Each structure stands twice: as structure tokens, then as C-alpha cells.
Chains A and B, each alone.
Chain A
């Protein structure tokens, strides 16, 4: 559906060149909810703007439905953009238009007759649960409601892809939750492929099936969310996957391990079994359970005892139970 081939973007200014995206190749398939995660300044927003060519890549190709977007004329590109919608962190609604007329905007510019446009817009506002706010102006709506209007507006042209640029970053946790559920619903019921840009792992865990971890403009790691969650390989992915209250540098002991449970083992009295069978005590430094792709996943940071024999027993135990673990080392 969307393929990025060696996409790079360099911003040139008189003083210095900034390489925001370097050599990124991604393959987003129809029906995916593809997460692109990274810290601030990792190049996520630039990368997503390369998909609809709001930023023209310095080099590389963007293939959408078999067509190289970089080769299109300006007019053809504007037409294609109607199939690739986008929502933003700042909602970007037209402040002088009502919710209904905001949703009408993309239809207006596409030349849809006014009556038809209003009917469709009203239906979309209904889909996002805002039928009673039709005549409200953005200033009269809450953040979550504004993002719902923006989603309705993005869906007006029946897009194949919805790009979400930090769409929930300005919202509180409860509202974030409801917006993510709405996105998930749009993906399943309308078959819209979604690309989610975020700096929060929990957004990825909650709705994405695939993820690319971006670090300094480059893809550090990509693949299925489950795989990356269970065994992150790059430092940046580890950083993002670790439970929020423990940062790597906080773990002073060299004997700390991170264990990750898949759907089933999360329900076992695992720690009790481990202490009984290995005759060793462990200290829980951090723990977290998550819902990834509808299954319960959990992870725990354990501090192991000092003596090597106990450590060995614990590791053997983990291996026989097929539980993924990795040693967590202090970064400094």
C-alpha cells in the first residue's frame, strides 16, 4: 500500500544542514495500524510528511498504491492527497467554521454539491459521536471533541490511509483512550490503513500491529509490535519499552533482568513459583501489564541475588519455562 524506499530529508539552511530523516525504508500494508515511534526530534513528523509529500524527500521514493508520488505533477499530487488524510496534534480546525462546515471543507474543495456534502458531513459527525455538536465552533469544543471533528473531516474524502501526527499527545489519558478506540474502530469497520506517529509506547501497544522505532532520523528497529515488545534489540527500543517509572540508568545493580510475558504466562503466579523452585529471592524493581493487540502482556524488572549459582538457577528456570528475558545493563 505505502512503501518508503530509502527516503531521506535534509533541511538546508545557510548555517548548517540538518538531516531529519535518513535512508528510511518502510512497507505499510493495507489494513495495518503502523506505529512510528521515537523521541522528540527523532524525525517522526518529518517522515510522516514525506508520505503525503508535505515535505518533499531530498532523496528516495514514496510509493502509494503502486505509484511513485515524487513523479506526480502538482495537480495529480493534490488529487492523490485526497486519498491520504491527516490529523494533527493541534487539531488544525478552521476556527471560523462550525464543526459541520469543517467536515464539509474537503468535500467543498473536491467539488461535491453542497447538499450532498452537508449530508455526508452530518453522517461522519455521527460516526465520531458528535452529532449534537454540529453547529458548535472549535472554540466551544474540548480537545477530544476537536480531534473527533478532525477525524471526521479526515474521513470525508473516503481516504485509504489516515496519517496521525501525535494525534493524542495534547489530550489527557482518558480522552487519549477514547480517541485510540475510535481510530481502531475506523481501521476495522472502514478498512482504513492508519499510520500513527507518537512518542508514547502505550499508544503503539494499544492499537498498532507493526512499529518502526526511529532514532536520529534512522529506523533503529521495525517489525511486529509483539516481537519488539518481547525482545527489543536496539537501545532506543529498550528505552521506550521499559516500564515508565524505571529508567535504565536507575538500575544500579548489574544483576537486573527484564522479563516479558506473553498472553498466557502473564496469569501464572510466576514470582512465587520462581522463588520456591530456585530457592532464591528476587526484588521487583518495576512491573507493568499491558494490553497489546487484545492480549495481556506483562513485563517485570527483577533484581537478582548476588551469588552466581542462584542467578544461574533462575536463568535456567526461565529458559525451561520459555520466558523471554534479557539483562538490563546500566547505560553509563
Chain B
């Protein structure tokens, strides 16, 4: 018990928690900044959608699929030159965030596309019949209508990104995952590994449940609330 308390209160452990949260949240945010326009593009250019364009759809879809099919550990190596160019270093936390965003943005784009597809086409048609332009349809119809589904998608995205964070240990990044890998694998201090993993489980639970609650809370399709 004493050992656990020593571990949990150690400054190394606490900075690891904060770093994990930072990496996860910043990467998720940046992935959405890139993923939303990509998702809108994938949705809007698809056949029968609001601005169909077969060529753009095929090209963007192809790129997204390619990045999504490369395993993250390999992508981590492949995108190193670009990381060096953009964030100044091939390794470390900032480079890791860059790699995570490259890997997660296409995934986020597909999640957004699928949330958008759930919006009733009839509602979009009604908005068109009222003379809405495409920008209004996206901002005033599709985004608000898809909000609950987008939040659920966000929960999946953020927990998936969190699941990737231990790989930071490959490129000298930090965080709880790296902490667990280093102590558990290389120094055989399993207690520390278990504590770090337990904390990761707790963080995932909190993120998932709070976002689920938020999605339910803001979904007006549910009667008698």
C-alpha cells in the first residue's frame, strides 16, 4: 500500500498523467481541425450529396484510406522527415503529437462522414427547398442535426487516440503509456505498470461516459426527458 502511495504521488507519475492528457487532448483537437473539413468534403462530394464531385471524392477517399491502412508504428517512422520540417524535431512529445494527428485525422474524417450520413436526407431536401445554400446546409442543418452522433464519434476518437499514446516511448515521448512501458518492460517494476494502466482505464472510462452523457443530454430526439 505504501508503495502504491509513493508511486502515485511521485512527481514523475503526476507529470506523466498531465502529459498524457495534454498529448491526447491536443492531438484530438488538431485531428478535428483537419478532420472536419475532410469529413465535410468526403460527405459533400459523394454521389447524390450536396455538392457531388466524383473526382475529388475518389482522390480524398483514396488518400484517407491509404493513411488509415498504414499501421501507426510504421507511420511513426515514415512521417519523421515531415515532423522534422514542421515541428523541428523527429522525436519528443511535439513530434509525437504531429504523428498522432496525421494518423488520427483521416480516421476522424471518416467518423464525421458517417455521422453526417445519419442525417435524414429529407431534412436536407427541405432546407434546399427553402433556398439554403450549401454553407447554410452544413452549418445550420447537418452539423446541429448530427451533433449527438458527432459527440459519440468524438468519444471513440479521443479514446482511440489515448490508446495510441504509449507508442510515444518509441520516439522518446512521454506520458503514462511510456511510463508503463519503461517500468514494466525494461525495469521489471510491474506495480508501476499496473498502476499506470489502471489510471489509463479510469481516464478512458471518464472520457467515454461523460461524452456519452453529453450526447444523450443534447439529443432532442429523445422524448419525455
A: which residues have CB within 8 A of B? Answer: 52, 54, 78-82, 84-86, 88, 90, 92-98, 105-106, 108-110, 137-140, 150, 153, 157, 163
Contacts and interface: CB of A to CB of B under 8 A. Distances in A.
Contacts of A98: 220
Contact of B127 (A52, A79, A105, A139): A105
Contacts, number: 81
B126 interface: yes
Secondary structure at chain A's binding surface: helix, strand, loop or mixed?
mixed
Given A54-B125, A92-B120, A92-B123, A81 B221 contact: no
B132 interface: yes
A96 B145 contact: yes
B145 A95 contact: yes
A85 B129 contact: yes
B187 interface: no
A316 to B, nearest CB: 54
B130 A88 contact: no
Given A95-B145, A96-B219, A139-B220, 10 more contacts: A78-B133, A81-B130, A92-B125, A94-B144, A108-B140, A109-B130, A109-B131, A137-B221, A138-B220, A139-B222
A118 to B, nearest CB: 16
Interface of B: 120, 122-123, 125-133, 136, 140-141, 144-145, 147, 218-224
A308 to B, nearest CB: 57
Contacts of B223: 139-140
Nearest to B135: A109
A54 B128 contact: yes
A96 B131 contact: no
16 contacts: A54-B129, A78-B132, A80-B131, A82-B131, A88-B122, A92-B122, A94-B141, A95-B145, A95-B221, A96-B145, A96-B220, A105-B127, A106-B130, A109-B132, A109-B136, A109-B140
A79 B125 CA distance: 16
Contacts of A157: 130-131
Given A96-B147, A97-B144, A88 B131 contact: no
Nearest to A75: B133
Given A94-B145, A95-B145, A137 B130 contact: no
Contact of B130 (A82, A90, A97): A82
B44 to A, nearest CB: 15
B26 to A, nearest CB: 29
A23 B135 CA distance: 35
Nearest to A90: B122
Given A90-B122, A92-B123, A95-B145, A137 B220 contact: yes
A106 B131 CA distance: 8
Nearest to B133: A78
B74 to A, nearest CB: 38
B220 A88 contact: no
A105 B130 contact: yes
Nearest to B122: A92
A78 B131 contact: yes
A299 to B, nearest CB: 36
Given A92-B123, A108-B140, A140-B223, A86 B129 contact: yes
B189 to A, nearest CB: 50
Contacts of A139: 220-223
A279 to B, nearest CB: 60
Nearest to B143: A96
A29 B166 CA distance: 71
Contacts of B127: 105, 109
Contacts of B144: 94, 96-97
Contacts of B222: 139
A183 B223 CA distance: 29
Contacts of A85: 129-130
Contacts of A80: 131
Contacts of B145: 94-96
Contacts of B123: 92-95
Contacts of B125: 54, 88, 92
Contacts of B147: 96
8 A-B pairs closest in CB distance: A81-B131, A92-B126, A86-B129, A137-B220, A92-B122, A78-B131, A106-B130, A82-B131
Contacts of A79: 131
A85 B218 CA distance: 30
A156 B126 CA distance: 14
A98 B222 CA distance: 13
B144 to A, nearest CB: 5
A269 B34 CA distance: 79
A325 B10 CA distance: 99
Contacts of A54: 125, 128-129
A78 B120 CA distance: 21
